[in-house]
Structure 1
C-alpha cells in the first residue's frame, strides 16, 4: 500500500529522476512547430465553415472574434506545457487532500492474536499444509499487488503521453468547428489526473476494511482452516480493491461525461 501512496503523490517531472519527463518535453517542443501549422489550417477551415460569404469577413465582430480565437489558440500552444502542469498541480492537490484527510496512509494490518497463538501451537506435520496455504495466499496477494501497482504506473504513462502530444489537439482551438477536439483533450487529461483521486479513495476504503481484520470465527477449528478462511477473506477484499482501481478510468469518464 505504501508503494501506491508514493506513486499517487509522485510528480511526473521528478518521477524516475525526471529522465522520462525530459524526453516528453523534447517531443512536446518538436510537435509545437507542427501544431503552429495545424493552427493556421484549423483557423482557415473554421473561417470557411463559419462565414457564409466574403461579406461576413468584413463585419468587425466576425474579424474580432476570429482574431481573439486565433490569439488564444496560439497562446495555448505556446504555453501548453505550463497549462498542463497547472492542471496537474490542481488535480494533484485534490489527491493529496483526499489522502491527508483520511489519515490512513501507511496503515498496516496485523494478524489477530488468536491466529498467531494457533499457528505457534502447530506441530511439525501440521505446519506443512499451513505452509502451503500461506504460500498460496502470499502468491495471490503478491499478484494482486502487482496488478494495482501496474494500474497506477499506467496512469503515470498516460500523463506522459498526454503531455507529449498536447500541442496537436490544442491547436484545434483555432477553428470553431474543431474546438471540440481540444475540449475533449483537456477533459480527458483532467480525467486521467483525477484517476489518482479515485484510486486514493479506493485505497482509503480498503484501509478502513483492513483496520477491522476478518473475523477468526470458531477458534476450535484447525490452524489450517482458520488461516485459510482469513487469507480467503483478505484476498477477496484485495480483489474488490483491484476492481475499484482498475475501474477508476471508467468512473472518471462517467463523472466527466466523456462516455466510452
Structure 2
C-alpha cells in the first residue's frame, strides 16, 4: 500500500523549494551588498539619522572644547609664559581639524561606504549563482525505491528546514550591518572630538576603525559569496557517493548542497572578524 502511494510524491519538490528559498534570499543579499547606507531604502533611514545628528554635533562641539582644555592641562602649558607661535599653530590646527571632521562626519562615512560598495559591485559582477539540482541529480530522486523514499523524504525535510534557517541567518547578517552603521554614525561626532587632544585620540581612531570595518565587512561577505559560488558551480566531493543505492546517492547530494550553504553562511558570519584580523583593526 505504501509503495502504491509514495510514487505519486515527487521527492525533489521539497529540495527544489529549499533551494528556491535560498536563491530568493541570496538575490536580496546581493542587492543589499551593492547599496551603501545612504542608498538603502531610498536613503530614508540615512536622512532620518542625519536629522538627529545636529544634537550629537552640539555635544561633540562641547567635547572638542573639553578635549582641547584637557590637552592644555596635560601638557602643562603656561599660556602667558611658555606659549610660542609654533605651539599656537599646532593647537589651532588641531581644534580646526576636529571641528571640520565634526561637521563633515556623515560625508566622510558616506565616502568610505561608497568606495566599499563600488568594490563590492566589481567582485559580484557575475551576479547570483543559483543553487539547483542537475538533471542527473534529479534523476536520482526519481529512481529511488518507493520504500526507501520514506527515509529520503524525512531527510529531505530536515535539509529543507536547515536551508531555510541558514537563509534567514544570512539575510539577518547583511541587514544587521546596516543597523550597526545607522546606530554608530551619530556617535562619530562624539568620538571625533578626541582629535582636539587631551589624550582622547584613541577614541576617534577606534570609531574610524569600526566604520572602515563595517564597510569592508561587506567586501569580505562579497568575497565569501564569490568563492563559495565556485564551490556551488563545481560541487564538493565529500566521498559520500560510494554506495550503489540511489537513496544513498540522493542523500549525498543533499548533504553536499546543505554543507555548501552552511559553509557560505558560516564564513559570512565571520566576515567582520576576518577583516579585523587581516587589517589589524
Instruction: With the length of structure 2 as denominator, give the TM-score of the two structures.
Output: 0.83
- Counterparts of 1:136-155 in structure 2, within 5 Å, are 136-155=158-177
Structure 1 position 127, deviation (Å): 3.8
**1:101-158 deviation per Cα after TM superposition (whole angstroms, max 9, x unaligned):** xx2x212233133221222234655543332222111111111111111111111111
Which residue, out of 210, 217, 238, partners 1:195? 217
- Counterparts of 1:1-260 in structure 2, within 5 Å, are 1-54=26-79, 57-100=82-125, 103=126, 105-122=127-144, 125-175=147-197, 177-214=199-236, 217-218=241-242, 220-223=244-247, 225-258=248-281
**1:48-92 deviation per Cα after TM superposition (whole angstroms, max 9, x unaligned):** 212443456521100000001111110111111111111111222
Taking the aligned partners of 1:256 and 1:27, their CA distance within structure 2 comes to: 32
RMSD over aligned Cα atoms:
2.0
Taking the aligned partners of 1:127 and 1:2, their CA distance within structure 2 comes to: 32
SS of 1:108's partner is: coil
Alpha-carbon distance change, 79 to 2 in structure 1, aligned in 2, over 3 angstroms: same
Q: What are the ranges of 5 or more consecutive residues in structure 2 without an aligned counterpart?
A: 1-25
Q: What are the ranges of 5 or more consecutive residues in structure 1 without an aligned counterpart?
A: none
Instruction: With the length of structure 1 as denominator, give the TM-score of the two structures.
Output: 0.89
**1:174-205 deviation per Cα after TM superposition (whole angstroms, max 9, x unaligned):** 11521121112112111111000111111111
Determine if contact 1:133/1:227 at 8 Å carries over to the other structure.
no
